[in-house]
Structure 1
Amino acid sequence: MIRIIPDVLDADGVAKLRSILDAADWVDGNETSGPQAALAKRNQQLPELGEAAAEAGRFVLDALGRSPLFIAAALPLKIYPPYFNRYAGGESFGDHIDNAIRMRRGSEFRMRSDLSATLFLADPDSYEGGGLVVEGFSDAPGIKLPAGHMVLYPATTVHRVEPVTSGTRVASFFWIQSMVRDQGQRNLLFDLDMGVQGAATALGQGDATVVRLTGVYHNLLRRWADS
């Protein structure tokens, strides 16, 4: 299941984040690639352990913490420190699948990748191509969202970034280990959560039906979640 999370960053937030990124030095994106990805990947990336990536990563993580829709959709247990990439001049990332286990260089941080995320940081009209194609969920020309919007998709899928033929595509990407490992269970919890919120709006938070449905949600989460 693909989830679109709109307005993770507003226009001011995008501008502030881009000011960090645009002033930074970029390197070959294969700095962090495994052997398979290196065959398909042609882009630029902020150095993983650089000050700009750390500052920009904190900015993104703070924004995610303020997004109830992201929390409901991902039920995050761990979030990998965000990476940042850009594509221009025909650069692309061919078909690949993300590593199941992500390990942070220079630390003991490691996590299972359940969900992959792309936070778009350039207006889609500012570049040609560059769509995110997720096998089984989207077709060419792929997903291109307004700056500040994010897409979540299963890390188990084969996906690619189409060639950017003009302009520059800028984005943040990262992975999430969910408290609920099973995608089907996660989807059911999300749908139930949205239904509970809708019922609460219509009937009031204290309505007996809303209270009972809220209990069902939390009891399922208690049954399925790891923490």
Structure 2
Amino acid sequence: MVAVIDGLLTKEQVQTIAKRLFSAKFADGSMSGGPLGKEIKKNTQVAPNSPEYRELADFVLSIIKQNETVAINAIPRRILPPIFASYTEGHRYGDHVDAALMGQWPGMRTDLSITIFLNEPGAYEGGELVLVTDFGEQVYKGKAGDAVLYPTHYRHRVNPVTKGRRMAIVTWMESMVRDPARREIIGDLAAVMERLVATKGDEELMLRVEKARLNLLRMWADS
């Protein structure tokens, strides 16, 4: 299941990140593209040893961890430090599937990916995030601060940028519920519960829905 999160970052948070990125050191992005990186990935990203990187990474991780939509849909156990990516004219990331294990040995299982857009769609041409799903290709080009949360096993790409500069944050999560179908069921029940609360629904019905959600979480989650 794909979740579009409007305004994961506020306007002020986007501005804070942009100011720090202005002075950050960027390096060749193909280094994080796996065995086909040099062939299909052409972009730059903030170098992990850049003085700005750790501060930016901690700032973004704290925001992601506090987001309710992420918590409901991802049920995250661990989240990797993010990548701050830049795509200028001619840059792209061809069709690929992200690695199943990332991070320091033995690696963290990657169940979900998240892309956070850092500039407005009008700031660049091309550069769309394209997910290849069971329902065909889904295309995303969000506003600054918006995010797309999606299963990491999807094949996906970033279309070539033909004008301007695309800035984005990308990271990966290991969920406490590794099966995407089970995560979707738990997320659906949470959405129903949220709607019932908002509309002041029947209390007995709300209790039953929440009981089902929590018991499924208890049954399927690995803490």
Aligned to 1:51: 51
Contact kept? 1:5, 1:152, Cα under 8 Å? yes
Q: Please tell me whether residue 150 in structure 1 is matched to residue 147 in structure 2.
A: yes
Which structure 2 residues correspond to residues 12-23 of structure 1 after superposition, within 5 A?
12-23=12-23
Aligned to 1:69: 69
Aligned to 1:165: 162
* CA distance in 2: counterparts of 1:124 and 1:8, whole angstroms: 16
Residue among 171, 182, 199 paired with 1:202: 199
Q: TM-score, normalised by structure 1?
A: 0.93
Contact kept? 1:192, 1:217, Cα under 8 Å? yes
Contact kept? 2:29, 2:42, Cα under 8 Å? yes
Contact kept? 1:32, 1:48, Cα under 8 Å? no
Cα deviation, residue 158, structure 1: 1.1
Any gaps of 5 or more consecutive residues in structure 2?
none
Note closer, same or farther for the CA distance 1:91–1:117 as it changes in structure 2 (3 Å cut): same
Aligned to 1:84: 84
Cα deviation, residue 38, structure 1: 2.7
* CA distance in 2: counterparts of 1:177 and 1:50, whole angstroms: 26
Contact kept? 1:37, 1:96, Cα under 8 Å? no
Q: TM-score, normalised by structure 2?
A: 0.94
Note closer, same or farther for the CA distance 1:43–1:138 as it changes in structure 2 (3 Å cut): farther
C-alpha RMSD of the superposition: 1.6
Q: Please tell me whether residue 216 in structure 1 is matched to residue 212 in structure 2.
A: yes
Aligned residues: 222
Contact kept? 1:64, 1:70, Cα under 8 Å? yes
Cα deviation, residue 2, structure 1: 1.3
Which secondary structure does the structure 1 equivalent of 2:140 belong to?
coil
1:165-224 residue CA offsets vs partner (Å, 9 max, x unmatched):
1110000001010111000011111110010111122236x9222122111110000001
- Range with bigger deviation, 120-129 or 22-31: 22-31
Cα deviation, residue 70, structure 1: 1.2
Any gaps of 5 or more consecutive residues in structure 1?
none
* CA distance in 2: counterparts of 1:51 and 1:214, whole angstroms: 45
Q: Please tell me whether residue 187 in structure 1 is matched to residue 180 in structure 2.
A: no
Cα deviation, residue 109, structure 1: 7.4
* CA distance in 1: counterparts of 2:127 and 2:74, whole angstroms: 25
* CA distance in 2: counterparts of 1:207 and 1:49, whole angstroms: 53
